[in-house]
Amino acid sequence: MANIQVLDQVTIDKIAAGEVIERPASIVKELVENAIDAGATAVTVEIKEGGISFIRITDNGCGIPREEVPVAFLRHSTSKIRTVEDLSTVASLGFRGEALSSIAAISQVELITKTRDSVLGTRYLIEGGKEKKIEDAGAKDGTTFLIRQMFYNTPARRKFLKTAMTEASHVNELMTRLALSHPEVSFEFINNGQSKLHTSGNGRLKDVIYQVFGREVTQNLLEVDEAIPGLKVTGYIGKPLISRGNRNYENYYINGRYVKSNIIAKSIEAAYKDFTMQHKYPFTVLHFVMDGNDLDVNVHPTKMELRFSRQQDVYNFVYMAVKNALSERELIPRVELPEAKIEKLTTSVKEERNLDYFMKKMQERVTSYHNQQSQAEVKDIYGVHREAEQVDRIREAVNYRKVQDNTPKPNVTKAEEKPEQLNLFEEKLLSKESVVEHRIIGQLFDTYWLVEFHEQLYIIDQHAAHERVLYEKTLQGMKTREFTSQYLSPPIILNLSMQEEEVLKEHMDTFANIGFEIEAFGGDSYAVRAIPDNLFSIAKKELLIEMLDSLVEGISSSVAPDMIAEKVASMSCKAAVKGNSRLSFAEVEVLIKELLKLDNPYHCPHGRPTIIAMTKQELEKKFKRIV
């Protein structure tokens, strides 16, 4: 065995750098967060070759005084904390004091910085942790870092970097998250000379979402704004129709920091459970403000993972905030017909000279008609007049939009906005008054029911609708104890793992309260002798095991009763009427009335829509009754 000895400082610094710096995106993260903490309102990040050979980060923050520049590159140097007590209240993005030291240990660093009250700036060179030069330099207020040849002195680590394109994509993803976390800061990201992201920094989160994700996402957002003592959330969530196939679009920030949290993720997805398809995940951009004493961000070197001191309160708060936002809207998908032709014509007449040119040509053709009086010209002039009328309509629409865009918007308080948010359609199918006014037209493909209500056509999926009704009925019955138990003969025998057995024992009273009768059967086996009567026809061992698996580890027993009841209710959906089944008008009338009374009639418990809508105007466009 080799002798134990203390490592030299250079080696120590390189090892420490490995805890913080994994790839170019790690450097960008540390330096941009420092820029934000320095009060920057504009940050530009430029990389070449994925950031492996070159990174330049420029900000207009407060800068670093000359005498503090060398100190900033020492390990555990920081302006954010002074004592151990400060760790529990720190609100800045970076505070470990290892970032600059770690970056300098594995790359060639050039720093140019100037404070607002200094005449000259400072230029500082450090390579592999060794200071090379410090001198005066002309500079703008703020700080610029140039990082060259990452891992040049640790080739073993450099070979683990991915391709330049992959590394650049990591930086791009990071910049997107930073832009969403700080809409008050203007961010620009340049890759190999091309601008990939540029936000305005006007402080409006919705504008950043538009600049990052585009129009479709921005048009399908729901606002979230909730608060309880010590915890507040604002931001946007996506309507169910823009859900994604992975969790990459779940963005949430705590005190300005992008984080990952199982508690928050599970609460968001639980709130969406009734609105989205299985294996689909919501779009969210949520900002949380929380007391620093209630969370520990110092769990991981990247500070991306954290712990809450009040996990259950956080889970319940996030769940209700998201659920409330989803429940405030009438989320019936609209079947919209394409407007490609109108869009094309509108584009062609955007500039006034194009309209003038068209009108001039039309006048020439009218004059030609009067001169020649030929039959061919007569037919042609009708076409000209139709085109002219169409252009007039487009011109009126464009002018109307200009007037609307330029009309000052009245100041409206949040309380005044609420009722307007609820009225997505002027007349709603989903109201108590409308239940007696709609007219059932008939059944389509033995699966869909057509319902006419004023100027709307609604198409209802009978299976999804019946699933929703059964789910809500079962859930309500269990909450109000309006249920009976059904005995099984023979009983269902469950062979449980230690973890499953522990969960069952912990929640045995809850299972008993909603109609289950379960008892030990020797060893790791349990006998299920009675179940809620609505599960009698579908009771299987797999369903019961699935119920145990659904109990989330780490969630307290206070939430378990609702989770178990929801799982039972979800299972009851298997008894719903299927598609390709004929129902009588009387049966579907009862089904639709029950559906429209529910709190959430828009989706089945598995996330599929129960209703879609099409307006009379859209149908008339399709049949060319209107243009």
* Residues 464-516 pLDDT 10s: 888 888 887 777 776 666 667 888 889 999 888 777 787 888 888 878 877 88
pLDDT score of 67:
92
* The predicted structure's pLDDT at residue 383: 47
Quick one: which of 282, 275, 198 has its CA closest to 603? 275
Q: Cα–Cα distance between 349 and 386 in angstroms, integer?
A: 16
Q: Which residues pair with 250 in a beta bridge?
A: 284
CB 261 within 8 A of CB 297: no
pLDDT, residue 138, reads 92
Q: How would you label 379-406 residue by residue, b for 16+ Cβ within 10 Å and e otherwise? A: eebeebeeeeeebeebeeeeeeeeeeee
Q: Which residues contact 379 (CB under 8 A, 6 or more apart)?
A: none
What value does the mean pLDDT take over residues 107-124?
95
> Of 421, 439, 420, which Cα lies nearest the Cα of 429?
439
Residue type present at position 370: H
Q: Give domain limits for the chain.
A: 9-198, 214-327, 340-404, 429-627
**pLDDT tens digit string along 83-99?**
444 444 444 554 334 68
Which tens digit of pLDDT belongs to each residue from 225-249? 999 988 999 999 998 888 887 888 8
User: What SS3 state is found at 541?
Assistant: helix
Distance separating the N- and C-terminal Cα atoms of the chain: 88
Task: Please tell me the least confidently modeled range out of 118-132, 382-396, 529-543.
Answer: 382-396
Q: Is the dihedral of CA 552, 554, 557, 562 positive or negative?
A: negative
Average model confidence (pLDDT) across the chain: 76
d(CA 158, CA 140): 33
**Cα 26 versus chain centre, distance:** 23
| 9-198 topology per CATH | Heat Shock Protein 90 (3.30.565)
The sign of the torsion formed by the CA atoms of 28, 31, 34, 39 equals: negative
Q: DSSP code of 85?
A: G
Residues 187 and 45: beta-carbon distance below 8 Å: yes
Q: Kindly state the average pLDDT of the residues 43-59.
A: 96
Query: What is the C-alpha R_g of the chain?
Result: 32
- Calculate the alpha carbon distances from 368 to 361, 376, 390 in Å: 11, 11, 21
Of 591, 284, 283, nearest to 448 (Cα)?
Answer: 591
Q: What's the length of the chain?
A: 627
459, 618 Cβ separation under 8 angstroms: no
Domain covering 429-627 assigned CATH 3.30.1540.20 in the classification: yes
Higher confidence at residue 336 or residue 46? Answer: 46
Which one is predicted more confidently, 40 or 77?
40
Tokens in use for 256? 């300005």
202: tokens are: 């006007």
Class of domain 214-327: alpha beta
pLDDT at 111: 96
Q: Cα separation of 530 and 519, whole Å?
A: 10
pLDDT at 470: 80
Q: What is the mean pLDDT of residues 263-267?
A: 90
Tokens representing 224 are 């979230």
Q: Which residue has the higher pLDDT, 334 or 81?
A: 334
pLDDT band at 361 (very low <50, low <70, confident <90, very high): low
In whole angstroms, how far apart are CA 416 and each of 206, 219, 334, 411? 20, 21, 26, 10
- Helix axis angle, 541-549 relative to 498-506, nearest 10°? 80
What is the CB-side half-sphere exposure of residue 90 using CA atoms within 13 A?
Answer: 21
For the chain, give the percent of residues with pLDDT over 70: 67
Give mean pLDDT, residues 175-193.
95
Distance CA 150, CA 156 (A): 12
Which tops the pLDDT comparison, 503 or 56? Answer: 56
Q: What is the pTM of this model?
A: 0.59
Residue 322 has pLDDT above 80, yes or no: yes
Of residues 369 and 163, more confidence is placed in: 163
Q: Is the pLDDT of residue 309 over 90?
A: no
Residue 392 confidence (pLDDT) above 60: no
